[in-house]
Amino acid sequence: MRKITKALLGATTALTVSAALPSVSQAEQLTLCWAAWDPANALVELSKDFTAKTKIDMKFEFVPWTSYADRFLNELNSHGKLCDLIIGDSQWIGGSAENGHYVKLNDFFDKEGIKMDDFVPATVVGYSEWPKNTPNYWALPAMGDVVGWTYRKDWFEKPELQKEFQEKYGWKLDAPKTYDQLKQIGEFFQNRKVDGQTVYGASIYTERGSEGITMGVTNVLYDWGFQYDNPKKPYEMEGFVNSPDAVAGLEFYKSLYDCCTPPGSSNVYMTESADAFKSGQVAMQMNFAFTWPGLYKDEKVGGDRIGFFPNPAEKAHFAQLGGQGISVVSYSDKQEQALQYIKWFAQPDVQAKWWELGGYSCLNAVVNAPGFAASQPYAQAFLDSMAIVKDFWAEPSYAPLLQAMQKRVHNYVVAGNGTAKEALDGLVKDWTETFQDDGKI
């Protein structure tokens, strides 16, 4: 999941690959639409192999995350033909499936022997399926991603800090296993002088305009027991979204914001969190795993100075899913060629090279291969994180669902308005109204 705005998916009739398709000879170029970020650059390099093999040129339409949702959801809503392939956010699956923006891939997968069992299960549910937990596939898992953490390993290993921390808290200063430990580390480093510079405990997501604070707070809420609805009765949210455990989790997130973040942390998301870490402001930072390769290569904070760890646990153990799947746009005149690209991209050797170039493969054969965990300093943390993922609503109405959570949580955590229980009670009310409007309750 990434930058989400008010753009909503339009309505049309669903299509499948059984529709008439043009011949291969008609296509000399395919356009793939995605966000402008480091993994996209890796995909450009990877796709040169596809062109060499098929003689089909690849054109890429990459836009910044800040305009990603607006740009491409508007393109889909208008039935535009710009994108033959699109790497769309996990939250787009529901609306894109129900409104016919994506080609359904079941028949194609069956024909080509592409098995969803060959991919990390959580990525199939998160990026490909609609309805969730049914064998209806609208995308191939393309870019695995998840919220995790980096920390200043060099600071943690300073003997004088190790000694002081051990005496104060009774355990070795190291990557935290629980949120209580993470908060202790945050408090320990807050306003501390390290190498002559005042530093702070942690950078966490607080951004309100798109999805930032939701992508941050859910990592804590999940671990305290928050659930989106009753597992036995879909869309029944009372007592699950606002359970006592969920309230305690939200209170904890606010306490972490209050105790341990740098000054001016009221509107932090991916870029701001990475910048806080790269500039030497914080001992730890919350961020999506896609940032890790770049941080590891950073001359000031990378290499031996940086460490990686999965989201800590508390009563439960989850992490917020990010990432995307790759889909064929139903309005494209080059669907057959686009399907060729997906067939090529799904191959194990291509997926292995995708990982080598800086993409995050979702193929079991890659991530479970001997030596994968040691292939990069962050590979084990990525594996551990992807094993505990959980995602936000992927409903067609995810946008108003998200906007409601952004407002309620930010007003409490950052602005300090009301109580955690009032915030979550209000969220139940907001979400109930949305699902009532959808005719689902």
pTM of the model: 0.91
Q: What is the mean pLDDT of residues 401-409?
A: 97
Both 119 and 175 in one domain: the answer is no
Both 196 and 306 in one domain: the answer is yes
Given a cut of 50, whether residue 358 has pLDDT beyond it is yes
**Percent of the chain having pLDDT more than 70?**
94
Both 312 and 336 in one domain: the answer is no
Query: How high is the pLDDT of residue 66?
Result: 81
Residue 329 pairs in a beta bridge with 102
pLDDT digits (tens, 9 = 90+) for 13-28: 333 333 333 444 445 8
Both 428 and 302 in one domain: the answer is yes
Query: How high is the pLDDT of residue 22?
Result: 40
Mean pLDDT, rounded, of the chain: 93
Both 157 and 191 in one domain: the answer is yes
Is 2 among the domain residues? no
Residue 193 pairs in a beta bridge with 198
Is 246 among the domain residues? yes
Q: Point out the least confidently predicted range of 6-20, 133-147, 427-441.
A: 6-20
Query: How high is the pLDDT of residue 223?
Result: 98
Both 209 and 78 in one domain: the answer is no
pLDDT digits (tens, 9 = 90+) for 206-251: 999 999 999 999 999 999 999 999 999 999 999 999 999 999 999 9
Q: What is the mean pLDDT of residues 122-130?
A: 96
Query: How high is the pLDDT of residue 267?
Result: 97
Which DSSP helix (H) or strand (E) runs through 320?
A: strand 319-328
Both 359 and 414 in one domain: the answer is no
Question: Could you tell me the CA-to-CA distances from 292 to 200, 210, 359, 383, 439 in Å, in that order?
Answer: 20, 22, 11, 13, 42
pLDDT digits (tens, 9 = 90+) for 46-75: 999 999 999 999 999 999 988 898 999 999
- Least Cα distance to 235 among 1, 420, 96, 440 occurs for 440
Is 4 among the domain residues? no
Is 205 among the domain residues? yes
Is 7 among the domain residues? no
Both 412 and 363 in one domain: the answer is no
What is the C-alpha R_g of the chain?
22
Reduce the DSSP state of residue 390 to 3 states and report it. Answer: strand
The DSSP symbol for 262 reads: P
Q: Which domain holds residue 421?
A: 147-320+395-438
Is 424 among the domain residues? yes
How far apart, in whole angstroms, are the C-alpha atoms of residue 138 and residue 92? 10
Q: Point out the least confidently predicted range of 13-22, 160-169, 280-289, 341-350.
A: 13-22
Q: How many domains does the chain divide into?
A: 2
Query: How high is the pLDDT of residue 6?
Result: 35
Which residue bears the tokens 């535009």? 80
Which DSSP helix (H) or strand (E) runs through 150?
A: strand 140-152
Q: What is the mean pLDDT of residues 379-403?
A: 95
Question: Could you tell me the CA-to-CA distances from 193 to 200, 201, 232, 263, 283 in Å, in that order?
Answer: 9, 12, 51, 15, 11
Both 167 and 311 in one domain: the answer is yes
Q: What is the mean pLDDT of residues 286-294?
A: 96
Both 70 and 104 in one domain: the answer is yes
Is 217 among the domain residues? yes
Both 306 and 336 in one domain: the answer is no
Question: 263: cis peptide before it, omega within 30°?
Answer: no
Question: Domain holding 230: CATH number?
Answer: 3.40.190.10
Is 14 among the domain residues? no
Both 155 and 302 in one domain: the answer is yes
Given a cut of 80, whether residue 348 has pLDDT beyond it is yes
Q: What is the mean pLDDT of residues 346-357?
A: 97
Query: How high is the pLDDT of residue 1?
Result: 52
Q: Mind giving me the DSSP string for 27-75?
A: -SEEEEEEESSHHHHHHHHHHHHHHHHH--EEEEEEE-HHHHHHHHHHH
